[in-house]
Structure 1
Amino acid sequence: MARIGVLSVSDGRDHVHARNADFVRRKQSELVASLRSAGHEVLEVAEPLSSGPEATGAARRVAAAGADLTVLYYAVWAFPRFTMLAAGELDTPLALVASTDPTEPGLVGMLAAGGALDQVGRGHHRLWGEPGDAELAADIGALATAASAVAGLRGCTFGRFGGRPMGMNTAVANTDQWQRLFGVDVEEIDQYELVLRARHAEQGEVDTAREWLERHAGAVHYDGDKLTPELLERQIRSYLAVREIIAERGLDFSGIKAQPELTENFATMDVTEALLNDPYDWNGPKRPHVCATEADMDGALTMKLFGHVSGTPVLFADVRHYHPERDLWDLCNSGQHATWFAARSDDPAVNLAKVELFPEVFFFPAGGASVRHVAAPGTMTLGRLTRSDGNYRMQLVLGEFVEPDAETTEELMRLSTPEWPHAFARLDVTAETFLSRFGANHIHAVPGDHRAELRAVAEQLDIELEEWTRG
């Protein structure tokens, strides 16, 4: 959850403020309690702002405390200049929130303050409602979560292992643009570093990891050729090598090119990427590390944002096929569907029971295990950051992962690549619109409806939002 600063703005006339102060405090307390009940950390300025020095001083304290979003609350008529002074000390997004109690002109105070901010070009959001209203708290929470996600990018480092994969333009972004728009640095790492370090992984841990996968996975289909215990261990060693590099270089998220150098001469990165994106490994729970296959930079950036707003791992997939007779999309890619998506359980054994490790297919002569499972059903938010004429946009759609019966599932997987992971989805957009407009072959998804937060992310980043529905 996010950190929200709350300041109430009041009247600058001493006798009016004295009359209103208790009313304002009571309304603010209700709002703060509602936000805390929703799980947010609230940095509350207890006394309403009724002078210029109070406004600047309180705003500076909130800024120093590291708020993600600042709420300026209007329960009564408030002098707009106090809002302007406070806003001048704040670099967080602003939410102007008005009480709708008809006994006092809170809406008037918000509109006067909002108009003043408009005149100087200071962006802000406006919300209104009763302070204890759960819907109002949810709207404020969405803005705060978005602000936390955007702020969380600044100062991050993306580790790019390898370069552009297979001539894929959409996998490569302008590092200057990333620094300017998102505050993200890019650390270039040769894939050979991964190979070298994998050789020196500690054998005892490698054995533990292989045995853990063999014990918990639904099946490990060793074939003596493309998938052997030695090749699976090489993939585990790669995971340990990447983890070591992440720690040494302070990488916040990453991507691995893999194709064709590693997939033809070493091993695929499917196991490595799946485990990095999972919230666990054989050592127990861990924080997911966003890692995009094919070193997809905008894909990884999307996943970083999606993961922040959802608090879950993020799916990465190709838009593989559309079955018009079923209105069903097959989202499938050789790399890194996190195994968590198989059942979305907190218990890795529950997820891994639905996962099978298959020998890699002919695309990848170096071999290794492909991490096959079908994503569990449920509501999903899907989309991606893409670029049009050099400008970023957020393309967004609500959908649902579905789980056909076992026979249909096997039939659908056989029609594409049965050894790879699949998510079967229905999207709230026509195939004609989606295929005509979507700006990449890779798509990303998180459980639940997080469109409100992602709309706010787009607004706060000042990038275009392209959201689709069938309506």
Structure 2
Amino acid sequence: MARIGVISFSDGRDYVHDGIREFIATTEDKLVDRLTAAGHEVVRGKEIVATNTGASAVARQVAAAGVDLTVFHYAVWAFPHFTMLAAGATPGPLLLLSNIDPVQPGMVGMLAGGGALDQIGREHTRLWGDPDERALIDKIGVQATASAAVAALRGSTFGRIGGRPMGMNTAVANTDQWQSVFGVDVEEIDQWEIVRRSELADQKEVTRAREWLETNAAGVHYDGKKLTPELLERQIRSYLAMRELIDEWNLDFSGIKGQPEMTQYFATMDIVEAFLNDPYDWNGPKETHVCATEADMDGALTMQLLKHIARTPVLFADVRHYHADRDIWDLCNSGQHATWYAARSDDPLENLGKVHFYPEVFFFPAGGASVHHLAAPGQMTLARLTRRGGNYRMHLMLGDFETYDDETNTQLMRQSTFEWPHAFARLDAKADDFLSRFGANHIHAVPGDRRAEVRAACELLGVELDEFTRG
């Protein structure tokens, strides 16, 4: 959850403030209690703002706590210049919140303060209602989560391992624009570092990892050519090499070019990408590390934003095929789906029990294991940052992952590339509209309906929202 600052404002006349101080404090107590019960950490202003000096001092105190969102709370009429002074000392996102008490004109105070902020061009969000209404607390949570996600991007570093893959322009972004819009730096690292460091990996851990996969997966299907224990170990070594690079260069998220050099002459990065995106590996639970195949920069950036919003692994896939007879899409890409999506279980073994490691297909002569599974059913939010005329936009839609009987699942998967991971998605988008407007070959997803948080994040970032619906 997020860290939320709460600052309450009052009337600047001493005799009025003295008469309403207790009412403001009681209302603030209820707001803080409800936000805390919803799982947020709340930082309260050290006092109710009733003077100009207090406005600046309290705002600096709350800002110093590193809050993701600051709520300006209006339980009563408040002098508008207090809002202006507090906003001047608040560097992050603002939410103005008023009560709906007919006796105390908090709504008037919010409108007066908000109008003054509008006059100077200070962006903010406004909400109103009773803190006892769960819908209001949820709306505040949406703004706070989006603010936290955007703040987490700023100052982060993306590790770009390799360059543009196979002429894929949509996988490459302008690093100056990334810094300007998102506050993200890019560290360029050659793929040779994976090759070089993989040779230095600890053989004991490599062996233990291979045996863990052989024991716990639904199957490791060695064929003596494209998939051997040695090739699987090479992929595991590559994973350990990437973990070293992540730690050494302090990478927050990354992408690996892979094609064509690694996939033709070394090994595919499927194991690497799947387990970096997973919340576990053979050493136990771990933090997920967003890693995009084909070094897809905007794809990785979308995934990192979704990760901070949903706090789950994020799916990466090609928009591979549309089954018009069923109105479903096969979202499929070599190795990229985290194994967590096989069952979306907190138990790694339950997920791995649905995962097969097959020999790579003819596209990848270097061989290695392809990470095959079918994503578990459930509601999903699907999104993708793309650019139009140099400006960022966020494609956004709701959908559902579906599964069928075993025979149907297999028959559908074999219509594309069976050995790769699949997700059968029924999208809240018309096929003609989607194919006419969607600006990339890759798409990303997280469980549940997180559209409200994505919308709020786009507003904070100044990114155009391009939402798909069936309407």
Normalised by the length of structure 1, the TM-score is: 0.99
Where 2:188 maps in the other structure, the secondary structure is strand
- Cα deviations across residues 26-58 of structure 1 (Å, max 9, x unaligned)? 111111111111111100115321110110000
Distance 1:166 1:294 in 2: 9
Distance 1:2 1:345 in 2: 24
Where 2:418 maps in the other structure, the secondary structure is coil
Question: Is 1:96–1:125's contact at 8 Å kept on the other side of the alignment?
Answer: yes
Distance 1:452 1:348 in 2: 30
Distance 2:257 2:423 in 1: 23
| Cross-structure match for 1:32 | 32
- Cα deviations across residues 268-319 of structure 1 (Å, max 9, x unaligned)? 0000100100000010000000000000000000000000000100000000
- Cα deviations across residues 223-244 of structure 1 (Å, max 9, x unaligned)? 0000000000000000000101
| Cross-structure match for 1:444 | 444
- Cα deviations across residues 401-421 of structure 1 (Å, max 9, x unaligned)? 011111111010010000000
| Cross-structure match for 2:196 | 196
Alignment of 1:336-351 (within 5 A): 336-351=336-351
| Cross-structure match for 2:69 | 69
Alignment of 1:183-222 (within 5 A): 183-222=183-222
| Cross-structure match for 2:277 | 277
| Cross-structure match for 1:108 | 108
Distance 2:80 2:407 in 1: 65
Question: Is 2:93–2:147's contact at 8 Å kept on the other side of the alignment?
Answer: yes
Distance 2:103 2:210 in 1: 68
Distance 2:36 2:451 in 1: 22
Q: CA deviation at 1:104?
A: 1.1
| Cross-structure match for 2:247 | 247
Where 1:416 maps in the other structure, the secondary structure is coil
| Cross-structure match for 2:175 | 175
| Cross-structure match for 2:413 | 413
1:12 aligns with 2:6: no
Q: CA deviation at 1:468?
A: 1.5
| Cross-structure match for 1:121 | 121
1:372 aligns with 2:368: no
Where 2:357 maps in the other structure, the secondary structure is strand
Where 1:415 maps in the other structure, the secondary structure is coil
Distance 1:466 1:196 in 2: 42
Q: What amino acid maps onto 2:291 in structure 1?
A: C
Where 1:411 maps in the other structure, the secondary structure is helix
Distance 2:367 2:429 in 1: 37
Question: Is 1:396–1:467's contact at 8 Å kept on the other side of the alignment?
Answer: yes
Query: What are the ranges of 5 or more consecutive residues in structure 1 without an aligned counterpart?
Result: none
> Number of matched residues?
471
| Cross-structure match for 1:79 | 79
1:435 aligns with 2:435: yes
Distance 1:238 1:348 in 2: 21
Distance 1:120 1:61 in 2: 23
Where 1:39 maps in the other structure, the secondary structure is coil
Question: Is 1:77–1:105's contact at 8 Å kept on the other side of the alignment?
Answer: yes
Question: Is 2:386–2:440's contact at 8 Å kept on the other side of the alignment?
Answer: yes
Using the TM superposition, name which of 461-470 and 282-291 deviates more: 461-470
Using the TM superposition, name which of 45-54 and 403-412 deviates more: 45-54
Distance 1:196 1:88 in 2: 51
Q: What amino acid maps onto 1:265 in structure 2?
A: Y
Distance 1:31 1:436 in 2: 46
- Cα deviations across residues 50-105 of structure 1 (Å, max 9, x unaligned)? 11011000000011110110000111111110000000001110000011122211
Distance 1:434 1:184 in 2: 29
Q: What amino acid maps onto 2:406 in structure 1?
A: A
Distance 2:189 2:120 in 1: 44
Q: What amino acid maps onto 1:95 in structure 2?
A: L
Question: Is 1:25–1:47's contact at 8 Å kept on the other side of the alignment?
Answer: no
| Cross-structure match for 1:92 | 92
Alignment of 1:262-301 (within 5 A): 262-301=262-301
1:330 aligns with 2:334: no
Q: CA deviation at 1:16?
A: 1.0
Q: What amino acid maps onto 2:18 in structure 1?
A: A
- Cα deviations across residues 237-281 of structure 1 (Å, max 9, x unaligned)? 000001011111111100000000000000000001001000000
Distance 2:226 2:67 in 1: 52
Q: What amino acid maps onto 1:378 in structure 2?
A: G
Distance 1:451 1:37 in 2: 23
Distance 1:405 1:335 in 2: 23
| Cross-structure match for 1:311 | 311
Distance 2:29 2:322 in 1: 51
Question: After the TM superposition, which segments of 4 or more aligned residues of structure 1 sit over 2 Å from their partners?
Answer: none
Q: What amino acid maps onto 1:27 in structure 2?
A: T
Using the TM superposition, name which of 40-49 and 220-229 deviates more: 40-49
Q: What amino acid maps onto 2:318 in structure 1?
A: D
Q: CA deviation at 1:212?
A: 0.3
| Cross-structure match for 2:354 | 354
Question: Is 2:46–2:58's contact at 8 Å kept on the other side of the alignment?
Answer: no
Q: CA deviation at 1:183?
A: 1.1
Where 1:397 maps in the other structure, the secondary structure is strand
Q: What amino acid maps onto 2:371 in structure 1?
A: V
| Cross-structure match for 1:141 | 141
Distance 1:424 1:116 in 2: 50
Where 2:384 maps in the other structure, the secondary structure is strand
Question: Is 1:385–1:392's contact at 8 Å kept on the other side of the alignment?
Answer: yes
Distance 2:411 2:196 in 1: 41
Paired-residue identity, %: 69
Question: Is 2:335–2:372's contact at 8 Å kept on the other side of the alignment?
Answer: no
Question: Is 1:25–1:46's contact at 8 Å kept on the other side of the alignment?
Answer: no
Q: RMSD in angstroms over aligned alpha carbons?
A: 0.7
Question: Is 2:47–2:58's contact at 8 Å kept on the other side of the alignment?
Answer: no
Distance 2:47 2:193 in 1: 57
Question: Is 1:28–1:131's contact at 8 Å kept on the other side of the alignment?
Answer: no
